[in-house]
């Protein structure tokens, strides 16, 4: 069985004279880019683990934050907690997000993670133009909030550098020290990869190699899937249930 997702987004509005400074000290990417383009970023724990990922868009002097709806309430509460005495207001809006990969309508912006993800349009409608976004995500190994991106995730293992979601020159933010240490390791030992799957295997199935746990399948589209792998064990032959799992010779990005 294939896993298909279309997670709606909630839009939070951040306003006030301290918005830029507030976000710059919290999130993984540089807010300085917002005047030119949308920014993909995440909020981490002090231990460097994932809390939430989102797209930030400038709206006049305000910043709109597009976050997966299941994460919106908790993120709003956490941002409010971090606010302290900063002159910042964080509130949910009634705005909606429509997505697509065809010709971009007026006012749309390109997804900052990867060109294949198409465009977003903020307005009164939500949904998509029928694009199979799971197939795109699997082909380019792009994780989704709450599926591949969970509270035990380290963002570099999830490909955030390749997806333009982290800036190593911007200075301090919550979780920065752990993230920087991982960046300067010689090589990551675990992470997400697109794999080939031959045979029946549902998302969540354990991947084994030579009798040892080598990873887990996540989103599947056709004969490909995103998998979280231990690279030292991800050697052929690999299995997921009755299916054979192999690593393609090349990976996107």
DSSP string, 5-38: ----EEEEEEESTTHHHHHHTTSSS-GGGGGTS-
The predicted structure's pLDDT at residue 133: 96
Contact 202, 220 (CB under 8 A): yes
- Interval 118-122 mean pLDDT: 98
pTM for this one?
0.94
Which of these, 65, 97, 68, 70, lies nearest to 80 by C-alpha position?
65
The predicted structure's pLDDT at residue 5: 63
Residues forming beta bridges with residue 127, ordered by sequence position? 98
Tokens of 238: 């690999």
The predicted structure's pLDDT at residue 6: 74
Which one is predicted more confidently, 58 or 253?
A: 58
In terms of phi and psi (left: phi > 0; alpha: psi -120 to 50; beta: otherwise), the region of 241 is: left
What is the location of CATH 3.30.1360.120 in the chain?
Answer: 9-183
CA distance 143 to 61: 30
Tokens of 157: 């293992």
Q: Confirm or reject CATH 3.10.50.40 for domain 9-183, answering yes or no.
A: no
| Region of poorest pLDDT, from 10-24, 112-126, 180-194 | 180-194
Centre a 10 Å sphere on the Cβ of residue 28 and count the other Cβ atoms it contains.
Answer: 26
- Interval 47-59 mean pLDDT: 97
Q: How does strand 243-246 pair with strand 238-240?
A: antiparallel
pLDDT tens per residue across span 105-116: 999 999 999 999
Tokens of 3: 């896993």
Helices (H) and strands (E) in the chain, counts: 4, 15
pLDDT tens per residue across span 57-91: 999 999 999 999 999 999 999 999 999 889 999 99
CA distance 240 to 215: 9
The predicted structure's pLDDT at residue 177: 95
Residue 3 has pLDDT above 50, yes or no: no
Contact 190, 230 (CB under 8 A): yes
Owner of token pair 């997000």: 97
The predicted structure's pLDDT at residue 248: 87
pLDDT tens per residue across span 127-185: 999 999 999 999 999 999 999 999 999 999 999 999 999 999 998 999 999 999 999 87
Contact 229, 215 (CB under 8 A): yes
Q: In a 3-state reduction of DSSP, which class is residue 90?
A: strand
What percentage of residues in the chain have a pLDDT greater than 70? 96
The predicted structure's pLDDT at residue 1: 33
The predicted structure's pLDDT at residue 73: 97
CA distance 54 to 214: 29
The predicted structure's pLDDT at residue 186: 67
């Amino acid at each position: 069985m294939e896993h298909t997702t279309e997670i709606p987004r909630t839009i939070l509005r951040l306003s006030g004279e301290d918005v830029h400074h507030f976000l710059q000290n919290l999130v993984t990417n540089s807010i300085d880019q917002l005047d030119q383009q949308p920014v993909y970023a995440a909020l981490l724990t002090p231990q460097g683990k994932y809390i939430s990922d989102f797209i930030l868009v400038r709206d006049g002097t305000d910043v709109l934050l597009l976050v997966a709806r299941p994460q919106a309430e908790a993120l709003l509460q956490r941002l409010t907690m971090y606010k302290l005495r900063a002159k910042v207001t964080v509130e949910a809006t009634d705005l909606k997000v429509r997505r697509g990969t065809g010709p971009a309508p007026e006012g749309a912006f390109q997804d900052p993670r990867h060109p294949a993800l198409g465009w977003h349009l903020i307005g009164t409608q939500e949904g998509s133009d029928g694009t199979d976004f799971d197939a795109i995500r699997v082909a380019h190994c792009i994780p989704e909030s709450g599926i591949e991106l969970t509270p035990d995730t380290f963002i570099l293992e999830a490909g955030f550098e390749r997806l333009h979601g982290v800036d190593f020159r911007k200075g301090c933010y919550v979780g920065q020290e752990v993230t920087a240490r991982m960046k300067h390791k010689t090589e990551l030992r675990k992470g997400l990869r697109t794999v080939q799957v031959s045979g029946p295997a549902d998302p969540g199935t354990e991947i084994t190699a030579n009798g040892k746990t080598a990873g887990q399948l996540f989103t599947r589209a056709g004969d490909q899937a995103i998998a979280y792998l231990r690279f030292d064990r991800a050697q052929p032959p690999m299995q997921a249930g009755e299916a054979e799992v192999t690593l393609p010779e090349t990976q996107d990005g």
